[in-house]
Amino acid sequence: MNETYLIDTHSHVDMIEELGVEDVIKNAQDAGVKKIIVPCAYPKDIDKIFELVNKYENLYGLLGVHPSEVRDWDDGLIDKIKEYSKSHKIVGIGEIGLDYYWDKSFVDLQKEVFIKQIKLANELGLPICVHDREAHKDSFDILKEYNNGSDVVMHCFSGSVEFAGECIKEGWYLALGGVVTFKNAVKMKEVAAEVPSDRLMVETDAPYLTPVPYRGKENQPSYVKFVAEEIAKLRGTTYEEIASVTTNNAEKVFKL
């Protein structure tokens, strides 16, 4: 029988304050989390993420600029990301998208930079990791209009079952995190129960959104097992089954 292991498809290991990266990786391996994908949020961190994932065998990177940080975008970043993406350790463009939760004063700029990064992913033949917070319709419409051939992973999916269905129809993947373990997260539990297994991934978004039983503490990749266990319970299946399907999906999309 094949070894069962998990992939944390979205973990800011560079932002975890209580543990060093080596301890984070060791804890993950001890918990059966074999590979960790580290997204980029800030333009200034592109070099750092590239160096980090090249230093550790089981870390892989996404390069891109988070919607909240697009005021620091510079078109020169496109060439830098193209150059770094020649490395097999860079497996996607992310996290990119729209965030209307914190600040709506520069929505047009968010959209403009999102589109530029979608086109970059298409040119490089890389998947797109999408941050969509309270911007479901605009995120969906922009992806539908501008994405041409890149796999799409809706990171930390937060929409309804109906919106999940629309994303699935487009062939996109939904990555679920710690929120699915929260007692009051009825909508997320419904989504977790309904997503087709060939479109499902798991993530932590560490150091944020820590799952039960560690809610309130700093998150880390090893805790992705609690996400997988909860999803298995909601779907009436085994942890091993969820580990197997989510790992297969992540390996296929990110070519790990």
Question: What is the 3-state secondary structure of 154-171?
Answer: EECCCCCHHHHHHHHHCC
**Arithmetic mean of pLDDT, 217-245:** 98
Q: Which residues make beta-bridge pairs with 154?
A: 130, 174
Contacts of 88 (CB under 8 A, 6+ apart): none
Q: Is residue 80 included in any domain, yes or no?
A: yes
Tell me, what amino acid is at 250?
A: A
Q: What are phi and psi of 127, to 5 degrees?
A: -70, 160
Tokens of 246: 């989510």
Q: CA–CA separation, 30 vs 46, rounded Å?
A: 29
Per-residue model confidence (pLDDT) at position 234: 98
**Arithmetic mean of pLDDT, 172-195:** 97
The total number of structural domains in the chain stands at 1
Cα dihedral across residues 20, 25, 27, 28: positive or negative: positive
Q: Is residue 1 included in any domain, yes or no?
A: no
**CATH assignment of the domain containing 173:** 3.20.20.140
Q: What is the pLDDT of residues 189-228, one digit of tens each?
A: 999 999 999 999 999 999 999 999 999 999 999 999 999 9
**Arithmetic mean of pLDDT, 90-110:** 94
Q: Is residue 79 included in any domain, yes or no?
A: yes
Q: CA–CA separation, 56 vs 49, rounded Å?
A: 11
* pLDDT above 70 for 1: no
Q: Is residue 96 included in any domain, yes or no?
A: yes
Percent of the chain with pLDDT over 90: 97
Contacts 24+ apart (CB under 8 A), 84-90: 84/46, 84/50, 85/124, 85/126, 87/50, 87/54, 89/50, 89/53, 89/54, 89/59, 89/60, 89/61, 90/50, 90/53, 90/60, 90/61, 90/62, 90/63, 90/126
* pLDDT above 80 for 2: no
Q: What is the pLDDT of residues 41-68, one digit of tens each?
A: 999 999 999 999 999 999 999 999 999 9
Q: CA–CA separation, 28 vs 118, rounded Å?
A: 31
Q: CA–CA separation, 97 vs 192, rounded Å?
A: 22
Q: Which residue segment(s) compose the domain that 113 sits in?
A: 6-254
Tell me the average pLDDT of the chain.
97
Q: What is the pLDDT of residues 4-39, one digit of tens each?
A: 899 999 999 999 999 999 999 999 999 999 999 999
Per-residue model confidence (pLDDT) at position 3: 75
Tokens of 24: 């984070």
Per-residue model confidence (pLDDT) at position 84: 98
Per-residue model confidence (pLDDT) at position 104: 85
Q: What is the pLDDT of residues 125-137, one digit of tens each?
A: 999 999 999 999 9
Percent of the chain with pLDDT over 70: 99
